[in-house]
Amino acid sequence: MENKGKTNKLGEEIIVGGLRLGSNVLMAPLAGYTCFPFRLMVEKLGAGAAFTEMVSVNGLKYNDRATKKLLYTDDREKLKCVQLLGGIPMAFERAVKDGLLDGFDVIDINMGCPVPNVVKAGEGSALLTDIPRAAKIIEACKRSGKVVSVKCRLGMNRHNIVIEEFARMCEGSGADMLSVHGRTRDMMYDGEPLYDYIRKAKDCVSIPVFANGGIYSKEKAHEMMEKTGADGIMLARYGIENPPIFSELTGRESNETKYSLIMEQIDIAQECYDELFVLSYIKKLASYFMKKLPGTKQAKQDIYKCGSIPELRKALSVLE
């Protein structure tokens, strides 16, 4: 298989389904955060790709205001990647052909979300228990002619780890890339990733495999690469907490601070969204930026009391 014996380094360019990604450090889709302004920010800092918040294939058919916000993009975003959530192959095929996704380069399929309501609906992690249906979903998305990636977990629990079979199915069904969250569904977002199983996924396929889960520092990022042999990594919560990590990991020169970044986020968000959305998004992002920073408890409370953009800008001076 390709890449056997090759040691991959963080920051390298990588080819996925014929698309050249500027680096092998990616930003995972996260509900409430990876909107257009955030994706622009991490791309500028060195992320090779950043994905939209997960979009329901069932919701796409209504083309409502909320869905339009999730899908918002423009030419400033170099590589456009959308993540879809669903459980019915025909719904995916309809979604990727209805025109709303024409501007996107990559379709990522969520086969890892562990949230109970999602799993009960036969979506997200539930697809790990129905490999034939998961295969049909990938095949349906590939008929769009776009690059297709899959984000999944190792299995439902430690007694039922299916990642090797699942990874081979993904490749065989036409997936161009696989992102493996190194936890089982029942682990949710806690516990040390099971590195050996990510390595097993990497070793049994020739498509690029990205490792995800438990990366909350530069040291953990390098540890993930060393222990899994992955082609790259996908950051999640730590990418929100500390966006400059993308520059650190990719060697991209940057003088940006959290303060300069969040001010720019306000500017871009105001161009694209209504004031209510901007206030909500920036408050959530600022709270993450302040995580683990001493003496910010009162500042967080003050920020959440802000009722206008000028008030918010003033309150955010605490990040200077």
Q: Catalytic site residues?
A: 113
Helix axes 131-142, 89-97, angle to 10 degrees: 10
| Contact by Cβ (8 Å): 10, 251 | no
Amino acid 93 reads: E
Contact 181, 195 (CB under 8 A): no
Distance CA 78, CA 142 (A): 21
Contacts of 210 (CB under 8 A, 6+ apart): 24, 26, 177, 178, 179, 180, 230, 231, 232, 233, 234
Tokens in use for 280?
A: 């909500």
Three-state SS for 46? coil
Strand partners, 27: 50, 235
Please say whether the beta carbons of 207 and 177 come within 8 A.
Answer: yes
CA angle (169, 82, 287) in 5-degree steps = 115
